[in-house]
Amino acid sequence: MAPYLLAADGDAVVGVRLYWWNVEASAALYGPLHCLEVTLRNALHDVLAGRHGRPDWWASAPLNRHGARLVDEARRKCERSGAAPAAVDGIVAELSFGFWTSLVSGARGYDRGFWVPAARKAFPHYSGRRDALHDSLLSLVHLRNRVMHHEPIHHRHLAADHAKIYRVLGYVSAEMAEEARAMDRFPAVLAARQDALRGARPHRF
């Protein structure tokens, strides 16, 4: 509770309310983050499979040692819970948001090995710099990890985070961004923060 009590200036009642609001905000961000992560990984997987002419594109792509290790870990995890060899779809699903984001990074050889020939095609509505896109994705990886590991997010500029999710999702699929917005309750949760901290509304998640 220490981060919440600190943010509440030591007021235990407000600190507890802030804790529960943080849970509510995290729950409301799960859906948009889910849409972004799944849409991104599917788009990157499709363009890389097309580039390399095989569904298990990682077998011939210029992954660095860290990327190859992540693929091996995903494969082993799939094989521990099912039949060997692991299915491609299973490996794709096991690879983390951070792995997919790394394919847009400035890692040695990745610009020419991934971005230029294929990865950029996963973002048909983006025309900016690769490094700016990677910075946006990396910040959303950090947000996603805090949400999924039950960490405080109340101190972040959550309105900007939320807008960034949809901006990046729109680069990949404008249709998915529109569909996700129609189901998104996060703006209402954010707008109700002060009421929640005053105890003027019940907590929901």
> What tens digit of pLDDT does each residue of 136-157 get?
999 999 999 999 999 999 999 9
For residues 118-126, average pLDDT: 98
- Nearest-5° Cα angle at 157, 152 to 162: 95
pLDDT of residue 81: 85
**62 domain residue, yes or no:** no
pLDDT band at 83 (very low <50, low <70, confident <90, very high): confident
pLDDT of residue 84: 81
**8 domain residue, yes or no:** yes
The residue range of the domain holding 193 is 2-55+97-198
- Nearest-5° Cα angle at 195, 32 to 19: 65
How many domains is the chain partitioned into structurally? 1
Among the listed residues 170, 171, 188, 187, the one whose alpha carbon sits nearest the alpha carbon of residue 179: 170
**203 domain residue, yes or no:** no
**76 domain residue, yes or no:** no
Distances (CA, A) of 161 to 24, 44, 101, 121, 167: 16, 22, 16, 24, 10
pLDDT of residue 11: 97
In this predicted structure, the answer to whether residue 172 has a pLDDT above a threshold of 90 is yes
Structure pTM? 0.94
Q: What is the CA radius of gyration of the chain?
A: 19
Buried b (16+ CB within 10 A) or exposed e, 112-125: ebbbeebbbebbee
* Residue 40 · residue 172 · CB < 8 Å: yes
**188 domain residue, yes or no:** yes
Whole-angstrom distance, CA of residue 166 vs CA of residue 30: 13
**21 domain residue, yes or no:** yes
Average pLDDT, whole number, for the chain?
97
**41 domain residue, yes or no:** yes
For residues 64-72, average pLDDT: 97
Buried b (16+ CB within 10 A) or exposed e, 169-198: bbbbbeebbeebeeebebeebbebbeebbe
**67 domain residue, yes or no:** no
pLDDT of residue 150: 97
For residues 32-44, average pLDDT: 98
